[in-house]
Structure 1
Amino acid sequence: APSTPTRAKAVAEDPSVFGILPTAEFPAKSRLVITHMSVENFKSYAGARIIGPFHKSFSAVVGPNGSGKSNVIDALLFVFGKRGKKIRADKIGGLVHSSDAFPDLQRCSVTVHFAQVIDAEVDEDPAGPADTNGVEMPGSRVLPGSRFTVARSATKKNVSTYSVNGKSTTMATVTSLLKARGIDLDHNRFLILQGEVESISLMKPKGIVPGEEGLLEYLEDIIGSNQHLPRIGELQTELEAANNERATAMARARAVERELASLAGAKREAEAFLEKKRHALEARGEQGASLRAR
């Protein structure tokens, strides 16, 4: 399979993507991070707000009840294409901020800022070129030309639009772009909500009936090995068929061996008879030759 940078380049060069992503080949030790987020009139955020910059090892949002943890995750879910009900809103228009101070806002938006970075501890060229035109990541070098943004907006009338680097696009294109960068929106296991942590800890080791998700199935989905399950099922069916054919052939072979063993006595008797007959014929031939000689 092609490397992530190669896939990213192929997607970016696709005419349908408008060439909105940089096509540079990034070092294998680099990784994609979210530097910060921009929100405007989204849920509890009135007006424009910047969330971040995030630490290079940012991996969780923690805080007391009511501090806004869920709204940060909801903002990410919004950009990544989740429907309103998945973000605790009846409709997508319900995500637009509404309060006594701002009762008539008509639109909300969230922009996620990405960058490709190399951490200092694995950077083989710490003095190499860096992109300083934007939020920096202390302890990491932001690679030039690697920054890009993915944004989504929604109106009170439940109209939603997407953009990449400020250019209007579709959810399908966003999905392809992020998948090329290693973010699979079709199998979202990179955003774990607060309530899911407990449910994961209480999972059965393995689903008992087909379609039931246990910890094994959950991990297979994260790893991606579940995509091979259909082929594994086909191979198991083929293996069972081959085993059945082998069992039938072995049964026939054993039956032939038993029949062969039962004929062993008759075979020995026949061989003994033929041997006696041969000796008799040889003796008769020798006697006839002796008479002729006289």
Structure 2
Amino acid sequence: MYIKSIELEGFKSYANKQLITGFHPQFNAITGYNGSGKSNILDAICFLLGLTKLENIRAKNMTDLIFKQGQASVNRAVVTIVFDNRDKDKSPYNLSDHDEIVIRRQITLNVGKGPASTYILNGQATTSNKIHDIFRGVGLNVNNPHFLIMQGRITKVLNMKPDEILGMIEEAAGTKMYDQKKRDVHKLIASRDLKIGEADRIVMEILIPRMEKMKEDAKILVEVKKFEKIKMHYERKLDAFIYYQNIMNAEDNNDAANKTREKIQSARDRIQAIDNEIAENEQLLLDIEKNKNETDSNNEIEKELKARTEERVNMEGEKDEVAEAIKQIQEDRKRKEASIEKDEKLLEKKKMELNKILSDHDAVDKQQSKDAEDAKRYRLEIEALTRGMMTNEQGEQVSIEQKIQESRTETAEIEASMKTAQNRQERLKPRVQELTKQIEKHKKQHTSEMAEIRAREAEVDRFTTEMQKLDFNEVADANMKERAKTLRNDIDEIQAGMARLLRTVGKGRYEFVYRDPPLPGFRRERDVLGTVATLFSVKPDAKAYTYAVEIACGNFQKIVWNLSANGVLWLLA
């Protein structure tokens, strides 16, 4: 898999859309004058690969990646790279059916919210984790500290310890990705085990005792409801009987009151008649008194008067009795009215009690329904746990064993991959040790040669100083210049010999042809050490590990410039 084309729009110095095509499969360097945009192309590649450490691409935040930080009517930065994927042996996982892989990363500047980053893989939106997994699967972990070796850090890489070199090779081989996934799966299994243990504890300590209590409460509730129905039945009958009795008493009292009213009216009429007769008798008595002395013929009248007097006395007695009866009837009426009023109040009270009982009954029904729903839910949970199921966040029942089995299967797969990677790592260890020894050997040789170079340079400086102290003499000056030239030639020969020594490791594998750049004081033998491939070699019996070494070292066609000559190290790909 290699780069076919790069499209930049709004990224750093590229305000308008720029399409760069024509990449060679072994493209490994970008050359050009200062300020021509070489570093921005490298930054764009690292940005698309998912670089998170922005200082490696000379930016403090995402906004710095947008052209003029979004202040020039450009509010987004887009990088699109098309990869040639026809080599299926080096294809990313699950993408071998694509001959081209198009990955696009875009940063959009949202007002008030900051920049938002999105990824698009072959026209479909995706996540940064998936993009990282794709590149890590082919040994491109852009966030690895050794993926991008910036200017001045080659010495640090050369001075790395064996375990650091091994870690770099593991990262290049892609085994660390499986280590991380294995750790994640182990964490997931531990979390699931904790949840299962917590579920078992809840079942044993809370749900089962609660279910037993709920069963007892359900039995008691059934009995209580049964007796409440019986009680309510008889209370309704009692209220109906009291209501009926009060109605009947009210009707009887009304009839009695009507009869009493009739009796009172009849008694009043009788009293009026008696009063009239008494008045007539009194008038008659007066007339008799007037005529008392007239004749003896009035004896009959006297008898009649006497009879009338007795009748008057009797009528007055009857009047008193009627008045007493009226008084008694009125008192009875008052008592009846008071009893009716009391019965009406009692009836109203019973109605209120009945309404309260009905309301309480509705509340009991609602609580009973809620308790029944809770009991049903707890019963379903217990039944699910009994069947080895558990309820997830969406309320769906899933198999605990199935989840555990899936996790174990995934763990087994990852462990198998890890075992394969570890075996591969074990096979690489001898080669790593050999490379480490070679590095140490070249380091010592490099140190001794550098010491000799510094000694020669010191000698040149000493001669130059002595020449300056002497009075000017053309012959002496010519001799000193000749001596300095000889020393410089010796230095160049030593450096060239060192370069030849380093190139003997990979001599014949790659031929490096280039034109001298327009740099003042440039010397081919001194300034250019060659490509990475010419700086080491692989033993014939270790040819199977060349791919791992290539992944660890990066592209073999990278160009190494001498730091002491120009103070610049170019490693461009």
Query: Of the two, which has the highest radius of gyration?
Result: 2
Instruction: Output the TM-score relative to the length of structure 2.
Output: 0.26
Instruction: Output the TM-score relative to the length of structure 1.
Output: 0.48
